[in-house]
Every structure is written in C-alpha cells, then in structure tokens.
Amino acid sequence: MSIEAIGVTKRYRAHHALRDVTVRIERGGLVALLGPSGSGKTTLLRVMAGLEAPDAGRVLFSGRDVSASGVAERGVGFVFQHYALFREMTVFENVAFGLRVKPRKERPSEETIRARVHELLSLVQLEGMAQRHPSQLSGGQRQRVALARALAVEPQVLLLDEPFGALDAKVRRQLRAWLRTLHDELHVTTVLVTHDQEEALEIADRVVLMNEGRVEQEGSPTALYDAPATAFVASFLGDVNVLEGVVENGAIAIGALRLPVVGARTGERVRIAVRAGDLDVAPADDGDAHATISRIADLGERIQLEATIDGGPTVRAHVPRHAPRAAERGSRVRIDARVQRVYPAP
C-alpha cells in the first residue's frame, strides 16, 4: 500500500508542527523520516496513522482518502519507542492481543491465533519465550515483541516511532540490521521515525529529512549524502564543518584560510560545508601555516583533529587511526578541503 501526505499542516496553538508537507511513500518501501527534535517527523507519522487530525491537507492510502478515518480503519501497525507492552501479560498474550480484540465476525479461531503467534515469535527470533513476561526480557527482546504484536494483525502499513531510541548502541545496530532483513522478507510498507542519521542511511530505501515542520530534502541515502540541497542538510548528515565568509577573487576568506569556491561572486557572503573526512591537515612551516592544532581525540576507528584557524573558527578533521600522525597538539598546520559545497549565507 502506498502512502501520500498532501499539503499537510498541523498546529498546536501558535506552534506550527507541520507546514504544508507533501510526501509520497511507494508500496513496499522502507522510508525514514529523519530530523532533529521538534522537526515534525513524529507528528507526520501520527497523522499518517490517524492518531492526529491535520488542520489542512489530506492523507491517501493507495489513492484512497483516509483523512477522516480512524486508526482501526487504516489497517496500520504502530510501534512506539518505549514498547508499550502489557506488563501483566505474557509474550504470547501480548502478540495475540490484536487478534483477540477483533470483532467476533473477523476474529480468527483460537487454533489460528496460536499458530500465528508462534509463527511471528519465530520470525522475530523469540521462540521459547512465549510464556515469559516483559519484565523478564531485555530491551531488544521487548522491542521485537512489540514488532511482532504490530505484525500480528497483518497490517498493510507499519509505522515505527523511534523504535530503537531507548536501546544501547550495540543493540540498536543489531536490531536495525534485523529490521532491514525482516522488511525484505515481508515487503510491508514501512515508515521509520528516527533522529539517528546513521540508522536512516543504513536501512532506509529513501530518507525524508525534516526541519521546523518542513521537508528540507528527500531522496535516496546516497543522494542526500552526496548532493545535499541546503546547508542544513549538509550539516545534519555526517560530521560537517559549516563555515561562513566573504568571496574574494574566487576564494572564500575564513580568517587566514582561503579556499577556492565555484559559482559565487566576489563580495558575496556564503556558507560552505566541508565534511571532517574531506579536510586535509598537514604540518607546515610558520610561513605557510594558517592554523594551530588545539585538540586531538581518539575516536576508535579514526582520530579527530581540531585546528583553530588564525583569526577564524576551530574546524574538525578526521584521519584514519593507522595513518601517520599529521601533527601534535600546539603544532602549526596548513588546511585544505578536498570537497566543499557552497550555499547562500542567511
């Protein structure tokens, strides 16, 4: 089932949570709604689910207007960040809940419910835990129970609201890889809300990046990462230095640093976005140097260098852990950027 939000606006008193948002999600796709807190991504998900009514705009499921339909009529499965499991129920009863509360005419037989629950527990790799209670499970196991419960009613759309937000980093990585595999098996149209850029880029077919209630850019993870449309998109994806300066003779002046730019006029104030991995830092004699190493941090797989530009800001550069050490703290260096993107300054 495809999903379309067309011109959706949502206000909470004076606050605009969504501003004329239009998004289309293809049938069977896995789309991430990505953005900082307060960007409107969870509100958009709740509007899609029928948990919130938009002030303007429409929601279509496979071309059918469901704007006035409730949650039950839309046939969605919803998974919350904090599991929302019934603590007094066993794992089996939690997963079976949606099937048991169906109207009598639609309710499966007890035998069918039992078979469906055991099938789902096998799918989410929780065989043998049917009689446990949520308090006896780890956080990752509880979230898989929540996913199984959402899938039990065979939804045409699966909506996930930061489902891994309460888990530690290692479990998050394991579960998002598992979710991608599960999606490839089931092909349920899936919308994932997350503020974790790595999560979105790793598992989504398409990413919708939101900011202040609007869509900044949407497209494949590769398209957003390699061709960010705005300075906000560039700064949100990856560790990025956003620098501002005035163009002089084809180069931007940032303190003592000069970097060539294309497509900007002399005297124009612009912003450039340079990823930390695209910044070159090299030792230099004082006559050629224009920055000083102010900090070196070991980040595990890479080393982060912070260099303060003479008369300008501090920038971050990443180098491979086993690369020759470019400089030590307090040493003088020169800086160059392999790739940079130019945007108008506000």
| Adjacent-strand bridge partners of 177 | none
Residue 46 gets the label, from left (phi > 0), alpha (psi -120 to 50) or beta, of alpha
Residue 325 pLDDT: 65
- DSSP E strand stretches across 154-309: 157-161, 189-194, 206-211, 214-219, 240-248, 251-254, 257-260, 269-275, 279-283, 291-298, 302-309
Q: Do domains 3-232 and 240-344 have the same CATH topology?
A: no
Residue 179 pLDDT: 87
Mean per-residue pLDDT, 55-75: 92
Mean per-residue pLDDT, 134-145: 90
pTM metric for this prediction: 0.85
CA separation for the pair 136, 40 (Å, rounded): 35
CA separation for the pair 250, 12 (Å, rounded): 46
Delimit the domains of the chain by residue range: 3-232, 240-344
Q: At residue 330, does pLDDT exceed 80?
A: yes
Q: At residue 249, does pLDDT exceed 90?
A: no
Window from 58-62, 81-85, 209-213, 244-248 with minimum mean pLDDT: 81-85
Strand 3-12 relative to strand 56-61, pairing: antiparallel
Tens-place pLDDT, residues 146-157 = 889 989 988 889
Tens-place pLDDT, residues 101-126 = 988 898 999 999 999 999 999 988 89
| Topology of the domain comprising 3-232 | Rossmann fold (3.40.50)
Name residues whose C-beta falls within 8 Å of residue 100's C-beta, 6 or more positions apart in sequence. Answer: 107, 113
CA separation for the pair 264, 335 (Å, rounded): 21
Tens-place pLDDT, residues 277-328 = 999 998 888 788 999 999 999 888 899 999 999 999 999 999 888 776 667 8
Q: At residue 55, does pLDDT exceed 90?
A: yes
Domain 240-344, CATH class in plain words: mainly beta
